[in-house]
């Protein structure tokens, strides 16, 4: 087990967490961004399986949120506003009249305080930050920590903890684009995804949840028996077309909060465990084309995101799990990526 730290791109630091079985993860203190994730394939060939920019400078204006920590609230908040405890709050509007992924100065755009810890069986990077009262319009001073832990079982766990001195919405997640093939010229059409997908949130033309939760049965969102992402990418349903011919939807778990993703050519299987009630499944339908990535140029469908989170549609609609963190309540969520 090893953890190294390097100064990169001026004031940034890049931490490389390495275990004894060929897995390593590179993380910036800027945006908590995962820039590389090296995992062995079925032949033991170690390759990068996440989308990352070739030039650090491209992370400064990361409108695709590659690899980034997202917060204070991931996903879209309609009209960038909400009511809470009798008060009306206006957030920064960074996508038309709406608020996306914490706003223009969201957690993907800040330099986090960092610390490391190493033991015989795991290495940890701890990133901390205080988001000030009314920063981007959110109420309360929010103390956040994100701990990245890599162990010798080829597991990377992100542990989120937060507390605020005022009731506030919080929905933290990670926005890494995965491509298990290790070949970034390939798309994710042939990634097989399986999870207990019970309902998905219907979107309007602006990708804002309408408040309607739709049963997944007999839709391209039914992953309970496993299906290729390509099924949804070529589907002609209204919801697929609205999302730019793919998935960009919040899908709520049934009983098991886990996702299994596999890719045949490499033989890689990734299992995601979380305590979040659902995930935004995003198949990079809107990923800018031609961006210089570590292993080539970006293209539509080059990666898939599983943004485990509660959803801020709860601020405007019934039926969605709570996103309000009460004063002095402890926020705790985790996302564990395991590779066989």
* Contact window for ligand G6D (CB under 6 A) among 45-53, 86-94, 210-218, 279-287: 279-287
Residues with Cβ within 8 Å of 35's Cβ and at least 6 positions away in sequence, in order, are 14, 26, 27, 28, 50, 52, 53, 59, 67, 294
User: Measured between alpha carbons, how far is 127 from 108 in angstroms, rounded to an integer?
Assistant: 12
Q: Does 65 bind ligand G6D (CB under 6 A)?
A: yes
Residue 228 CB burial class (10 angstroms; 0-12, 13-18, ≥19): middle
User: Is 175 among the residues known to form the active site?
Assistant: yes
* Contact window for ligand G6D (CB under 6 A) among 13-21, 125-133, 184-192, 278-286: 278-286
Q: How far is the CB of 45 from ligand G6D (least distance, A)?
A: 29
75/333 with CB nearer ligand G6D:
75
Query: Which residues inside 156-215 make contact with ligand G6D, applying CB under 6 A?
Result: 207
Q: How far is the CB of 144 from ligand G6D (least distance, A)?
A: 19
Q: How far is the CB of 315 from ligand G6D (least distance, A)?
A: 17
24/197 with CB nearer ligand G6D:
197
Residue nearest to ligand G6D (CB): 286
CA 301 to chain centre: 16
Burial track 73-87 (b if 16+ CB lie within 10 A, e otherwise): bbbbbbebbbeeeee
Task: Tell which one of 267, 286, 296, 321 touches ligand G6D (CB under 6 A).
Answer: 286
Question: 78, 208 in Cβ contact below 8 A?
Answer: yes
Q: How are beta strands 155-164 and 197-203 bridged, if at all?
A: unpaired
* Contact window for ligand G6D (CB under 6 A) among 26-34, 79-87, 268-276, 280-288: 280-288
Q: Point out the catalytic residue in the list 101, 129, 175, 311.
A: 175
End-to-end Cα spacing for the chain = 18
CA distance to 20, 62, 315, 316, per residue, from 79 (Å): 48, 22, 11, 10
Q: Point out the catalytic residue in the list 99, 129, 307, 311.
A: 307
CA angle 162, 92, 110 (to 5 degrees): 50
Token pair listed for 16: 């490389």
Q: How far is the CB of 65 from ligand G6D (least distance, A)?
A: 5
Look at phi and psi of residue 80 and say left if phi exceeds 0, alpha if psi is from -120 to 50, else beta.
left
Helix (H, G, I), strand (E, B) or coil at 72: coil
User: Is 307 among the residues known to form the active site?
Assistant: yes
Q: How far is the CB of 78 from ligand G6D (least distance, A)?
A: 14
CA distance to 39, 49, 104, 297, 337, per residue, from 45 (Å): 8, 12, 39, 22, 19
Q: How many residues bind ligand G6D (CB under 6 A)?
A: 7
Binding mask 235-254 for ligand G6D (x = CB under 6 A): -------------x------
Q: How far is the CB of 282 from ligand G6D (least distance, A)?
A: 5
77/150 with CB nearer ligand G6D:
77
CA distance to 70, 195, 218, 340, per residue, from 63 (Å): 12, 28, 34, 32
32/140 with CB nearer ligand G6D:
32
Task: Tell which one of 253, 282, 306, 337 touches ligand G6D (CB under 6 A).
Answer: 282
Q: Does 135 bind ligand G6D (CB under 6 A)?
A: no
CA 120 to chain centre: 29
256/288 with CB nearer ligand G6D:
288
Q: Does 64 bind ligand G6D (CB under 6 A)?
A: yes
Q: How far is the CB of 100 from ligand G6D (least distance, A)?
A: 6
User: Active-site positions?
Assistant: 175, 307
Binding-site ranges for ligand G6D (CB under 6 A):
64-65, 207, 248, 280, 282, 286
């Amino acid at each position: 087990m090893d953890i190294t730290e390097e100064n990169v791109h001026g004031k940034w630091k890049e931490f490389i967490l390495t275990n004894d079985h060929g897995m390593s993860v590179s993380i910036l203190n800027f945006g908590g961004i995962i820039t590389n994730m090296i995992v062995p394939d079925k032949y033991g060939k170690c390759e990068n399986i996440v989308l990352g920019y070739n030039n650090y400078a491209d992370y400064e204006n990361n409108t695709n949120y590659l690899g980034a920590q997202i917060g204070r609230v991931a996903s879209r908040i309609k009209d960038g506003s909400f009511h809470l405890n009798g008060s009306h709050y206006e957030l920064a509007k960074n996508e038309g009249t709406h608020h996306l992924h914490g706003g223009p100065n969201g957690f993907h755009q800040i330099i986090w305080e960092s610390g490391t810890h190493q033991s015989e069986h795991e290495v940890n990077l701890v990133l901390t930050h205080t988001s000030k009262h009314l920063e981007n319009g959110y109420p309360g001073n929010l103390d956040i920590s994100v701990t990245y832990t890599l162990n010798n079982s080829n597991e990377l766990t992100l542990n989120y903890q937060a507390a605020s001195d005022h009731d506030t919405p919080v929905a933290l997640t990670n926005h890494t684009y995965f491509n298990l093939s290790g070949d970034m010229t390939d798309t994710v059409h042939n990634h097989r995804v399986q999870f207990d997908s019970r309902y998905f949130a219907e979107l309007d033309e602006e990708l804002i949840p309408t408040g309607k939760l739709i049963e997944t049965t007999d839709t391209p969102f039914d992953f309970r028996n496993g299906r290729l992402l390509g099924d949804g990418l070529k589907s002609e349903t209204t919801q697929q077309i609205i999302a730019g011919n793919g998935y960009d939807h919040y899908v709520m778990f049934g009983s098991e909060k886990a996702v299994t993703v596999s890719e045949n050519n490499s033989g890689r299987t990734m299992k995601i465990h979380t305590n979040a009630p659902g995930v935004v499944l995003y198949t990079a339908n809107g990923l800018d084309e031609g961006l210089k990535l570590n292993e080539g140029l970006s293209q539509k469908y080059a990666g898939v995101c599983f943004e485990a989170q509660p959803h801020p549609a709860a601020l405007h609609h019934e039926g969605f799990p709570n996103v309000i963190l009460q004063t002095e309540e402890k926020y705790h969520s985790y996302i564990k990526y395991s590779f066989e």
